[in-house]
Amino acid sequence: MILFFGTRPGKPETKKLFNCICPYCQQQGTLTAVTQKNYFHIFWIKLFKISSTTTVECSHCKRGYYENEFTEEMNRELSKLNN
């Protein structure tokens, strides 16, 4: 019997951070957060989430921020959106 298993990404979730200011260019309302979740699968059926990464990008200056670079303001806005 052949068993197909592994990991695969889910659909990315995009959220606009309206009340945040970009630390680089100081523009307000230009930040967009993208969350990508990875799942373990058997026969291409997602069973459970194994990891999740979030990045934030400014649409004005195109600067990207990883989770360890988020400001307190970004973390606060993301936690409000997730609740």
User: SS in 3 state form for 29-61?
Assistant: CCEEEEEEEEEEEECCEEEEEEEEEEEEEECCC
- Name the residue with tokens 């930040």: 31
Bridge partners for 13 per DSSP = 35
pLDDT tens by residue, 57-73:
999 999 999 999 999 99
pLDDT tens by residue, 33-50:
999 999 999 888 888 999
> What's residue 83's pLDDT?
66
Task: Please say whether the beta carbons of 34 and 57 come within 8 A.
Answer: yes
DSSP 8-state code for residue 8 = E
> What's residue 64's pLDDT?
94
Q: Which two tokens stand for residue 9?
A: 């990404």
> What's residue 31's pLDDT?
94
